[in-house]
Amino acid sequence: MRLYRIGPARWLPVLNGRGASFEEGGRWNEPGDPVLYLGTSVSVAMLEMGNYLPSPRLVPASYRIGIFEVPDDAIDRWTLADLPDDWSHYPHPASTRTLGSAWLRANRNLVLLLPSCAVPGGLEDIAVINPLHPRRDEVILIDATRQAIYNTRAFQGV
């Protein structure tokens, strides 16, 4: 399966999961639990990044789109039916942090697909990667050179 991550070019190949969500926690992890968050499409990765930038015109020049491959047999999937009612609330609820960290610590699989909060109704997914899983070396960065993240015509009124 192909996955996508947007961030500073120098950090795209670093797969230790010790970024901001490691320090502060994220929707699917408690602080101190390493994790990587990726999109199942470039557009989902762009929308997810939009949660952290006030305008797409403010994407730092160092950012690139990282394209990754993961083995299809290393993926778990949770649907809306598997999630608590508050799964998409902000700030991130304790319920999702607890569930995600339990999945990470159980170390059953490399990738967990989950509905994206950036796309309503669970219509698109994100991927959570467990960097402590024994198959982590099977996460392959195949391209990190694409710099144009948003089309210059997009969000002209922003």
Distance (Å, rounded) from C-alpha 124 to C-alpha 66? Answer: 19
Annotated domain spans of the chain? 2-146
At residue 58 the predicted structure's pLDDT band, cuts being 50, 70 and 90, is confident
At residue 131 the predicted structure's pLDDT band, cuts being 50, 70 and 90, is very high
Summarize pLDDT for 10-47 with one digit per residue, the tens: 999 999 999 999 999 999 999 999 999 999 999 999 99
3-state secondary structure of 97: helix
What the block records as the tokens of 127 is 């991927």
Distance (Å, rounded) from C-alpha 33 to C-alpha 26? Answer: 10
Q: Closest by alpha carbon to 1, among 78, 67, 54?
A: 67
